[in-house]
Amino acid sequence: MGPIGMPEMIMIFVVILLLFGAKKLPELARGIGKSMGEFKKARDDFEREITHAETESRTKDAPGKEPRES
């Protein structure tokens, strides 16, 4: 099963239009857009926290470690 093509996208849009109606469609799209924005923000915050913790861990470990000799 490959990626969704243009005919499939049009069919999905028509079904959504029939289910929700023309008046509800902008509200639905706005809600989905806000949800996606919040999800992206949460993901970015999580990645930033992980990166910060990793960097902090490396800086704490670096001064106390002695390099191993081969």
Residue range 56-63: average pLDDT?
77
How far is 6 from 32, CA to CA, in rounded Å?
A: 21
For all residues of the chain together, what is the average pLDDT?
A: 85
How much is the pLDDT for 68? 59
2-33 pLDDT per residue, tens: 788 999 989 998 898 888 888 888 898 899 99
Joined tokens for residue 57: 């861990």
Joined tokens for residue 49: 């926290």
Joined tokens for residue 32: 């989905």
For the chain, give the percent of residues with pLDDT over 70.
Answer: 87
